[in-house]
Amino acid sequence: MSTVVSPAQTPIWGWLAILTGAVALVLAMLVIFAGPFAPQPSTGTVIGQIAGDMIAAARGSLDGSAQPAPVPRGWDVDRVLATLTPILGVLALCLAVMAAIRREPWRLSSYGAALGGAAIVIQFVWWIALLICGVVLLVAIIENLGGFAEGFGG
């Protein structure tokens, strides 16, 4: 005698996976295309601060003085959204697994997993692209650090 497991009556886990994955994907797009939401300084100000901090750190290490302590970053809306997006993507994957375990229709669990996985992948690909741009910017600043130091009376 074989035991046949019947599919679940209401596919709630699959629908929750789709809903959570869709919300995660929308948040990923919101972070990438509509953000940042918190006020940001101008690009020139940021580049000048980076160059000034690098010069001050170099002078401090040559003089033997103590380096300034790093300033802790607070939680703004951009950081919350960037953190919440992969969390919702992982939750969508977990809900899709639950739907598959409960033998709900396979399309629901696969759609939920695809949406959650896409949100995670898009978020991390975006951050990798930003990191590459940041490294290129830092290399350009370091190459021209002598010119910045002369401009600051170095």
pLDDT in tens, 98-147: 999 999 899 999 999 999 999 999 999 998 999 999 899 888 878 877 66
Contacts of 31 (CB under 8 A, 6+ apart): 78, 81, 82, 85, 123, 126
- Backbone φ, ψ for residue 81 (5° rounding): -65, -40
Domain boundaries, the chain: 12-36+75-151
How many Cβ atoms sit within 10 Å of the Cβ of residue 14?
26
Q: pTM for the whole thing?
A: 0.70
pLDDT in tens, 21-66: 999 999 999 988 887 887 888 878 887 887 788 777 777 777 777 7
Whole-angstrom Cα distance, residue 136 to residue 118? 27
